[in-house]
Structures are given as C-alpha cells and as structure tokens.
Amino acid sequence: MPVGHPLQTLTGILLALCAVAGFATLDTTTKWVTASVPLLMVLWFRYLFQAVAVSATEWPRRGRALLRTEHPWLHLGRGVALLSSSFFAFMCLRVMPVGEFTAVVMITPLLVTLLSARMLGERVTLLRWLLVLGGFAGTLVITRPGGDELGWNGLLAVGLVASTTGFQLLTSRMSRTEDPMTMQFYSGWIGALIATLPLPWVWADIDSLSHWAGLVAIGVFGTLSHYLLILAYQRAPASTLMPYLYAQIAFAMVGGWLVFSHVPDALSLLGMAMIAGCGALGAWLTVRERRAALLA
C-alpha cells in the first residue's frame, strides 16, 4: 500500500495514539518508581532493557545488517537527544503531577509542526495550523500559566521541550530512510552506554519486587512506544500526526488519577475536550485530503 493512501495515514494515526498511551503509562510508572529508586539507575535500566531486547530479538535474525545505516551521526544525535529528553522528563516527574508534566511536553508538537515545514519539507495547511494551535490552547487551559514562579523547574521544562523537539524532528526525518529496529538498536545502546558512566556513584540495592516490576514496565513501555512512533512516522507526515499526540494528556490524566489520585478539575476537563476536538477534526480533515488527492 503506497505511503499517502488514506488507510496508511489512518494506520499511522492509530499507531501514534498507541504510542502516546504507552508514553503516558511510562511516565506514570516512572514517577512512582523514582520516588524510591535513584533516578539515574532508572534511566540506565530503561535504556539497557531496550538495547538488550532489540539485540536479543533482531541480531540472531539479521546479524550485521542491523548495524547498516547511511547516517551514523544522525543516530548518535537522536540517541543523545532521546537520553537528554528522558533525563529531563524523569527530573520533571519528581516535582510535577503526571498530567501537568504531560501538558508541558505537549508544547513539543506545536514546535515540531512549526519547524517541520522548513526542515522536513512538509506542507502545513492553515487549517492544520489552527488545529495544532487549538490543541496548544487546550494545554494552556489545563496548566493555567502565570501563577507561581517556575524557578529551576521551569529550566528543566525548557530542557525537556528542547530535547524532545530535537528527538521528534530527527525521528520524523530518519524514519523515511532508516530501518525502525536499527533506530531502536542505536538509540538503546547509545543511551545505555552514556547512562552507565555515573552508575557506580548512584547504585542502590532494590529489595522490592514491585519496584523491579516497575523497572521492567518502564523498559517495556519505553521500547515499545518509541517503536510504534517510528512506525507511525513511516505512514504519515509529522504535521498530520501532531494533533493526535495531544491525546497523551488525557491518558496521563487517567494514569495520575488511578495511581496518585490526582483528579482533574473543570478547567482541566475543558482543556482535554479542546484537545480531543482538535484531534477528531484532524482525523476528518486527513481523510478528506487523502480522498481528494486520490480522486484528482
């Protein structure tokens, strides 16, 4: 089925929604685990799990072909960007509720859409710009900025948004030519090797089986969600997928409620409805545009 076919695009949207549901689960689990386990240990385990899992499943089947790439430096940049994003995310999750944290992350789709037209050569229509801005407005309704001073937490949020934006742009660009499992292999090992450096100074024994289960869940959801996102970018352009990534806020709100008893208030629910409305309208717009292109 050719790229750009309506079914391909809708499949990409579905994969993106599954990915952000996994990311929300990852963030909720991370906030719970890092309350008891050193943050850098959690970061190291998350990338080691991905590196070992991809190597164990793909190397016996593909051998050195798994290493084949035309853009080794882009893989290095993507791996560092992902590790940086995870570090800032883990730091933010220690001081912010899951829902509010996710709303900050959701500034990223706006930046990616703004930059994708220039850097990735993707056309962004006016209506799609309005949809992304509508989703961003929903995040502002949820977070209601302008209250307390952000201080150092604000700098952490800036680092998180900047590194995540870079990672998303590289992923969208590389997914056009690079093999998904090769991307997973390099990002996993780059993150694991860098995260190993401070490990001797932060290591702590873990006696709780529930914490070990949480670490495994972090590894599983981190690895699987990024793989699904790569597959989504292979089937639909970044500008099309961006409105749907805002659904992660809704998933995070549910996770925060179930695990930490954070109940969204009326304004937060309004923001979620705005985001869902923009996503639904974006789905309709995608189907209409692709159908018109096929009939032309």
Which runs of consecutive H residues, i.e. helices, occur in the chain? 6-33, 39-62, 72-95, 98-105, 107-119, 126-143, 151-174, 180-196, 199-202, 209-235, 238-245, 247-260, 266-295
C-alpha angle 79-20-107 in degrees, rounded to nearest 5:
75
Number of domains in the chain: 1
110 inside domain = yes
- Burial of residue 167 (number of CB atoms within 10 Å: 0-12, 13-18, 19+): buried
Determine, yes or no, domain membership for 69: yes
Q: Which residues of the chain have pLDDT under 70?
A: 1-6, 110, 113-114, 116-123, 142-154, 239, 283, 286-287, 289-296
Angle at 188 between CA 182 and CA 194, to 5 degrees: 135
pLDDT at 117: 61
Establish if 1 belongs to a structural domain.
no
Q: What is the pLDDT of residue 240?
A: 76
The amino acid that residue 91 corresponds to is M
**Percent of the chain with pLDDT strictly greater than 70:** 84
Looking at residue 214, its amino acid is G
CA atoms of 273 and 250, how far apart (whole Å): 9
Rounded CA separation 178/230 (Å): 10
Within a domain: 68: yes
Per-residue confidence (pLDDT) for residue 229, from 0 to 100: 86
pLDDT at 213 (0 to 100):
93
Which tens digit of pLDDT belongs to each residue from 186-204?
999 999 999 999 998 998 8
Give a yes or no: residue 179 inside a domain.
Answer: yes
pLDDT at 145: 61
Q: Cβ(49)–Cβ(222) under 8 Å?
A: yes
List of residues 6+ apart from 24 with CB closer than 8 A:
98, 102, 248, 251, 252, 254, 255
Q: Which pLDDT value is given to residue 122?
A: 62
Residue 149 pLDDT: 43
How high is the pLDDT of residue 92?
83
Q: What is the CA radius of gyration of the chain?
A: 19
Distance separating alpha carbons of residues 145 and 179, to the nearest angstrom: 40
Dihedral angle computed from the Cα positions of residues 65, 169, 85 and 257, in that order, rounded to the nearest 10 degrees? -110
pTM of the model: 0.77
Residue type, 106: M
Which pLDDT score is estimated for 287?
63
Summarize pLDDT for 63-115 with one digit per residue, the tens: 888 888 888 899 999 999 989 998 998 888 887 788 778 877 777 776 776 67
67: which DSSP letter?
G
Query: What backbone torsions phi and psi does residue 154 show, to the nearest 5 degrees?
Result: -65, -40
DSSP letter for 227, please: H
Residue 60 lies in a domain: yes
Residue 178 lies inside a defined structural domain of this protein: yes
Burial (Cβ within 10 Å: 0-12, 13-18, ≥19) of residue 15:
buried
Tokens of 21: 């549901």
Whether residue 74 lies inside any domain: the answer is: yes
Domain that holds residue 11: 6-295
